[in-house]
Amino acid sequence: MRNGKLFDVLIVGAGPAGSSAARAAAEAGAEVLVVEKRRQIGEPVRCAEYVPRLLAQTVKIPPEAIAQEIRGMITFLPGGEQIRKAAPGFILNRAKFDRALAGAAEKAGAEILTGTKAISREGDRVRIKGPSGDGEVRASVVIGADGPHSVVGSWIGQNNRKFLWAIQHTVELKEPAHDTKVYLGKEYPGGYAWLFPKGRLANVGVGIQMALGGPVKQALKTFKERLGDRIGEVVGVTTGYIPAGGPLPSIDEDARIILVGDAAGQTHAIRGGGIPQAVICGAMAGRAAAVSAGGDTQAFKDYLHQWRNAFGSVLDKAAEKRMELEEEWNGGDPVELLRRCWVACREYYNDS
């Protein structure tokens, strides 16, 4: 425990957003503490693990964190139509990816306490609970990078309210594949099913919007039946929440709090992807926090402008499409609605 010690920047969560923020803040000269409630960074993995190839231009992805390369995405619409899109990218070994980011943050000078949970906050004092009991640290700026149900967000009344609920099996894959596959239809209410190849394995999952139907377990069973003998033994199971309500305000200058990644709702509300935003916005948040701890009063607004310039319009549009999907789910023509709202369909881009 670092009882009572004052840090420039305290970061809650060592996922992609928190570790990227920690690295940037430390490189900018700040004294940085990260608290991560998991004992082992990156585990258990709650992710289908796809990232676009372009991410490798922003952050070094070590070879051991890449499970396989991906060429494209095939979307299966109800009625049998298929849409193919180029989508060059990687299926990650997500745990190794998260640990590489955390390692880079430590190398830059950030201190990371694992098995340590942020509990509450009063003024600049944050209560933490770790392996050796309760303690308290002080911080000039707090970054909430603590995922979909952010405790830091709750300190400033900024919480995600809409989610996709997902369940995924990692299974044996009988034939190698080079595309991700996405399946749309009424059987996946408000969401979709996916098969993402990972070498001799595949991540096979379903995410649905719970307000529109369920249970998700049944939807996964139906999907696996559809895949038939293309898949084999289950070697891993994961579940998780994906924020789907669009971006939150993400800063509170009076409270000296910044939110980033899933905690800030920076996840794509239709597709559910959030790793690139977490990494890129994480670095922006870390730099802003370091500058702000040094006394610059503009830094919080600069962070907001920067990440909105990079992702604001795409994420806002996805949130609008999610509303459309939600409002019209129980009426009308599902194919037409899915065409209008799903990212791989031309209609999605028509009014952009």
Residues at the interface with ligand FAD (CB under 6 A): 12-18, 35-38, 46-51, 117-118, 145-147, 151, 166, 168, 205, 240, 242, 261-263, 267, 272-275, 278
Q: What is the C-alpha separation between 332 and 186, in angstroms, rounded? A: 12
In whole angstroms, give the CA distance from residue 62 to residue 165.
30
| 5 phi/psi in degrees, rounded to 5 | -70, 140
Closest CB 34 distance from ligand FAD, rounded Å: 9
Report the nearest approach of ligand FAD to the CB of residue 22 (Å).
11
**Distance set, CA 268 to CA 27, 51, 274, 310 (Å):** 29, 13, 6, 13
Sign (positive or negative) of CA dihedral 19, 23, 28, 32: positive
| Closer CB to ligand FAD, 99 or 339, in the complex | 99
Q: How far is the CB of 11 from ligand FAD (least distance, A)?
A: 9
**70, 56 Cβ separation under 8 angstroms:** no
What is the H or E stretch that residue 307 is in? helix 299-307
CB 196 within 8 A of CB 203: yes
How near is the Cβ of 154 to ligand FAD at its closest, in Å? 10
Q: Quick one: 29 or 54, whose CB is closer to ligand FAD?
A: 54
| Nearest distance in Å: CB 242, ligand FAD | 5
Which residues contact residue 163 at a Cβ distance below 8 angstroms, ignoring those fewer than 6 apart?
148, 209, 210, 241, 242, 243, 244, 245
Strands 201-209 and 192-198: antiparallel
CB of 198 to ligand FAD, least distance (A): 11
Residues 6+ apart with CB under 8 A from 183: 75, 76, 192, 193, 194, 195, 223, 226
Give the span between the Cα atoms of 60 and 206, in whole angstroms. Answer: 30
User: CB-based burial of residue 254 (10 Å sphere; 0-12 exposed, 13-18 middle, 19+ buried)?
Assistant: exposed
CB 138 within 8 A of CB 9: no
Least separation in angstroms between residue 90's CB and ligand FAD is: 10
Residue with smaller CB distance to ligand FAD, 47 or 171: 47
The nearest distance, CB 295 to ligand FAD, in angstroms, is 27
Which amino acid is residue 345, in one-letter code? Answer: C
